[in-house]
Amino acid sequence: VVVVSALTFRILHGSRDLAMALVDMTQHFSYLGETLRIIGQPHEIADAPEAAPIVPHEGEVEFLDVAFAYGEGRKVLRDFTLSIPAGQKVGIVGPSGAGKSTIVHLLQRLHDVQEGELRIGGHPVVGLQQDSLRAAISVVPQEVSLFHRSIGDNIRFARPNATDEEVVAAAKAAYCDDFIRALPDGYDTLVGERGAKLSGGQRQRVGIARAFLKDTPIIILDEATSGLDTQSEIEVQSALARLMRDRTVIAVAHRLSTIAGFDRVVVVIEGQIVEDGSPKDLRRKEGGIFARMWSLQAEGLSMDDIAASMIEPS
Ligand code: ATP
């Protein structure tokens, strides 16, 4: 609307400067929009007046008898209890629509639970300020959004007051430093919509560098390493392994091989936990769902096919 208004203004009044100022304003708006998209969801839930500005430093996560439905719809989670000690790595698997994303969305408090309680580091999330909660959780998304700024600023986005040294340290930890230094202007190289194009693996490592910079006790991993060549995948996996060390990790797993080394796998069907154990034990469980998923994947079936087979009678 502003662009059209600017052009109209220019045609009608011949005032190029004002028209350009308005066009420039639209770029700021588009940058703002882009930034909001990268941040993810806007703060939908207001802080309670007594909400505390405590940032949980312990990565313990507890869902206690949680029930949740979107609006007036059916319950997506029912009697959902899951206690994750600090530092544990948990993969969540299950068919499409089982409630996996809902679990990690509730953890970020994009919605409030309707029954039961959700605690982080021993604090009920409803009693925490939104900003405190966000400072305790990093999300490494499936698709990393880059905005039209320098690559350094794209990493710094995770913690705007970080120094250059901290940005470089995060990039090094995520195996980004080498490829960034090889770009025409190093850390000052513009990336994003009209800037240098990064490969899928490089984008993912920028997402991991952001998480290093944020340095939170809890990591939510929306895994996305498929589609990468072997070398890129090794680099992404190495960066992730380093990031996960000493942190609580909750991964919505799209491939079983990546959670094979996790401490724990939780199989969710229709909003309830139906299997819970170490990947090693669950793989061996006779007649087990995870065991069946594992053997289907070994036969070369994709996760989508496996998920579909889980909702069909076997
Ligand atoms: P997938 O593997 O396909 O991503 P999922 O296990 O992550 O699935 P969820 O995204 O948590 O499943 O969805 C659980 C259920 O809630 C589904 O029936 C879905 O259609 C519904 N749902 C998810 N988000 C919303 C929403 N914003 N509004 C209404 N219903 C929703």
Checking ipTM against 0.85, whether it exceeds it is yes
Express as a percent the part of the chain with pLDDT over 90: 55
CA of 25 relative to ligand 1 center, distance in Å: 37
Question: 63, 68, 70: which to mutate for ligand 1, most atoms within 8 A of CB?
Answer: 70
Contact 253, 225 (CB under 8 A): no
CA of 253 relative to ligand 1 center, distance in Å: 15
Q: Which residue's C-alpha comes closest to atom 3 of ligand 1?
A: 96
Q: What is the pLDDT of residues 151-202, one digit of tens each?
A: 999 999 999 999 999 999 999 999 999 999 999 999 999 997 777 789 988 9
CA of 157 relative to ligand 1 center, distance in Å: 29
Confidence check: pLDDT of 40 > 70:
no
Pocket around ligand 1 at a 6 A CB cut-off: 70, 73, 76, 94, 96-102
CA of 92 relative to ligand 1 center, distance in Å: 14
Which pLDDT score, from 0 to 100, does residue 149 have?
A: 93
Q: Which atom of ligand 1 is nearest to the CA of 268?
A: 6
Q: Where residue 226 falls among pLDDT bands split at 50, 70, 90?
A: low
Confidence check: pLDDT of 92 > 90:
yes
Which pLDDT score, from 0 to 100, does residue 225 have?
A: 53
CA of 87 relative to ligand 1 center, distance in Å: 27
